[in-house]
Amino acid sequence: MAKITASVYTSHVPAIGAALDLGKDHEPYWQPLFKGYEKSKEWLKANKPDVIFLVYNDHATAFSLEMIPTFAIGTAASYNIADEGFGPRPVPPVVGHPELASHIAQSVIQQDFDLTIVNKMDVDHGLTVPLNLLCGKQDPQTGAWPCPVIPFAVNVVQYPVPSGQRCLNLGKAIRRAIESYESPDGKELNVQVWGTGGMSHQLQGPRAGLINLDWDKAFVERMVKDPEDLAKMPHIDYVREAGSEGIELVMWLIARGAMSDLRDSARGESTAGKAPQEIHRFHHVPASNTSVGHLILENSSITH
């Protein structure tokens, strides 16, 4: 009684949020970036989900360096916007979906992934910037995000971080969890899974400013066509080719793993499903220090 209709992938640069908040989005520097998301905003309006399962990373905001969960699922009814040093961003709070989130926690933990359950946390630019990019600017008082969001935080800040293979496998477990949900009112929930962060960027050290657009484009192509092979890529390749913060890209593999074309041996599936339909792909360089990438995939079984 819940199905995954699509997955969405996007970078999360904080300066994108600042550009929107300060009304700079029509300036020449930002215009080409926001133009690349016009089609996505139209698509989201036409394909509004009931819930977004949003995979992102916290930047030592909700979780300090004193306590760092590898995978944390938000089970709260709502999430306040974090103060990242300049006051909280002027965007609406995020409404959660405790029933579905608790079910996913139960199912995924029983599938042997150790999730941290988070009943209270603030969310930073890692979550709010992707929402802005797809949903547009929202008034902090009178506006609202289009649907409830389940925040799913992944540690990509402090080593050791999870492997691409573990992220892809986790995506498959999340798909099993979502598809086994029974909503109290019997209605089928339309769920999108979003994978965020990346693409190439390095914010520190002698290689600060690194961007590798060719590698980023190849990453997206491999992620669409052969995610099982891409999942085998070791961390050192991400860091060497995409910079220290490029490791955020492993989170895209969680969303990709939740798509129904991937064979799920834990369910006894012997064949893979139909390839997803690519709705939109976009690259832009640079936004602040980052190479921006964006992709939308729809499950092929979905009928409009």
Rounded to a whole number of angstroms, the minimum distance from the CB of residue 75 to ligand DHB is: 25
User: Secondary structure of the chain: what % helix, strand, coil (to 5)?
Assistant: 35, 20, 45
Nearest CB to ligand DHB, comparing residues 88 and 98: 88
Residues that bind ligand DHB (CB under 6 A): 12-15, 59, 201, 203, 245, 288-290
241: left (phi over 0), alpha (psi -120 to 50) or beta: alpha
Residue number, 243 or 257, with CB nearest to ligand DHB: 243
Amino acid residing at 196: T
Closer residue to ligand DHB, CB minimum distance, 77 or 157: 157
Strand 51-56 relative to strand 189-196: parallel, antiparallel, unpaired? Answer: parallel
Residue 94 burial (C-beta neighbours within 10 Å; 0-12, 13-18, 19+): buried
Catalytic residue among 12, 59, 97, 201: 201
Catalytic, out of 59, 125, 284, 294: 125
Nearer to ligand DHB, 107 or 196 (CB): 196
Least gap, CB of 128 to ligand DHB (angstroms): 12
CA distances from 125 to 9, 110, 128, 135, 212 (A): 15, 31, 5, 14, 23
Q: Whose CA is closest to 290, among 85, 33, 31, 62?
A: 33
201 is catalytic: yes
Task: State the nearest-atom distance from the C-beta of 290 to ligand DHB, in Å.
Answer: 4
User: Is 304 one of the catalytic residues?
Assistant: no
Distance of CA 184 to the CA centre of its chain: 27
In angstroms, what is the minimal distance from the CB of 268 to ligand DHB?
Answer: 39
Q: Which residues are catalytic?
A: 125, 201
